[in-house]
Structure 1
Amino acid sequence: MNPDSWSTCPFCDFPVPSSQLQRHANAHFDDPDIAHHKLPQQSEQSVSGSGYGAVSGDCNYWYGGGETSRDNGECEMDEKISCLIGLQTRSKFYKVELGLMNLLRNCLESETENSKSILSGYVDHFQSLNSEDAGWGCGWRNIQMLSSHLLAQRLEAREPLFGGSGFVPDIPSLQRWLEVAWGKGFDAPGAAQLDHVVYGSKKWIGTTECAALLRSFALRARVVDFGPKESKSVLGTSVDKTVDKVSNDKMVNSKAKKSEAYQVLMDFVWNYFSDENAIQFGQQHVVISEKTPLYFQHDGHSRTIVGVQAKHQQNGILSYNLLVLDPAHSTTALERSLKQKIGWQKLIKKGRNTLKKPQYQLCYVDPGIAGEEEMETLKTIDSVFLEL
């Protein structure tokens, strides 16, 4: 965000785009109830579950929740965004002192097996909380994990992401950002499927919502679908909302053939992190990739893939383990198991035998910032389809 293009409202001390300052200031006189009011100071505390349906402060009359005449879709998108930038709150999470990914790297390096592992760089773990989002918030938690990586590792993403706030917002703020993305025209079919509203709700989201939100910040979020041939016709919507259209009996009955089919997904993840074998291990058996983590979606749940491990079997064939952070796990439990190097494999390593769902989706972010022309094409959420 360029600070030179922003000004402070003389009535509420709120930062707004300079081009919108006069209209913003005049709006204080449109409704006497808000004249001379000050906006509340931005809080760094997460909003509790009971507060999801309310927006505090004078931005009610611009941005949903107020009852004035301007709260009927008449307000400008720039005003909505400037309001959200000011009112969004930092998500609470347990920050691992030594860095969760550093602890995972130490554990992988301590293994004596003949293996090679590739990890994303910095990633914070965001766990679902019983008081806020247990049972429905995993999709938002994975967006938070992916965002923590983008803010730490992608210099070009820091300025546009979440209005240049520099932090990962809480779930209510992310819900508002998704509604802003829909208002800009990103993923119109997905917006219609969710009735254009997620704020204050417990609606499940998936990879397409993640892609729409990140694309609205000019980030090149991509979606990859895996499934039987019959599922290709339902691409472009979240797995959570479409998997019931593909019955499990369409999958190959043989367990061996099922396992072989899932190798397509494992190979994709390995090639993604290894950048089609561009990464050179040398004497190391754990290296860091510049690739973002993968938002990993299937029916009923989603997790974040932060790396992949390849092991040489006796027959010379490579077997893979996905390295996964699960929002359903406790961050402190993950930290403890990694520090003690006890039980961490069960929490993080997921082999091919753990893949049992008929469909999977992945979302990741390519480098760079999209220009205006590319932004228009990004509004349509398409995907690459790979048959299982």
Structure 2
Amino acid sequence: MDCLITEYMGFLEQPIKLSDHVTLDNPKADYEIKLLANYIKYSQENAFVNPGLKWEFPLESNENNSVSWTSLKNHLVEGNYKNSPFMDELKNLNPFEFLAKHVVILRYDDFGFYKYHLQHSSEISSENSESPVTKEYISLQELKNQSIEKAISESYFVSLLKDDGFQDYESFILGGKGRSLAAPRMDFDLNMHLYWWVRHLNNPVDDHYHKNHIHDQLGELKKYYKFSEKIRSDKTLRFISRSLKSIDNSNSRLNIIALVSMLEVLVIKTPDANRYHIEDSIRKQFILKIGILMSEYDKRIRLEELKSKVKILYDQRSNIAHGNFESFENVAKKSKTANKNRIEVDIEEYTFELERFARYLLKGVLWVYLSNNEKIHFIKNN
């Protein structure tokens, strides 16, 4: 199995199996530890310097109360791991190898690609593309790439299900599309997560909390992977997974179009053009069916209030898609008036809130789909 870097940091005494396809673990083999240690070292030494922010720490420091990777290692070895059966193993690692052992990685099935690559690297040549070794290598590489794609797409889907309303569209896999450890780079995401991990661990008050917190976080993540087989086997859910991966955090208007389109895939039946006006029928279906399904998702919902907001979302999506930006802004201003808020409307803030509402709807409808897809198919087809 090969691996991808996640946003989680902590020492796991045992791997955590999320599904038949993916497992959370720390680097175990020497080559994994050295590869990731070199990646971290390069990223730290080439860290982007931003005024007021410092995401990197030095290897050593002579300053009192200054954090370095060496002091952090000593702090943990002498404190958290003092009575651990793993202490001798951890104590003999250099600081970056020690860090690498605390990065939580996602292992996925690479179909033996990496092992094959190590065994036959000298025989593989682009000049001899017809050789059996090269053909098998290319075949295994294709299977590995498909496996990565499924693992990453699935992680976006799970991240949406976990969403508490304040997350962005990032997967818990760093970089969203995975990192090649064999090609070191300045990894801003990794540096940032290392920084916050140190902030917790360097505070004695947080030590006990943080050690247990990582296990709580990963246990929570595991709950959502019970849907793994359904996500991978259902064509509609696979489409949603891939679509979520393509969303860009920086463009709320495009994201509204994408999110509403995903909802349409889940709930809209193509109307008979001989009997209905297509656009009117789709709009009515969307408002009615989303309302029914969200009432199933959250019994506390006020249905008429929700349907009114869904109607605005659908119409605003249409305004964006058709370039009716003046109409879009007029609706935004009316929403402020309706709320008796006389502050001048902030269009970007309004658009972001509309996007977040669409994301909330998608999460709710997907929960109903996963728990009772017969019901959602019935609603879609009627």
TM-score of the superposed pair, with normalisation by structure 2: 0.24
> Per residue, is there more strand in 1 or in 2?
1
Q: Report which of the two has the higher share of helix.
A: 2
Structure showing greater relative contact order (alpha-carbon pairs closer than 8 Å, 6 or more residues apart): 1
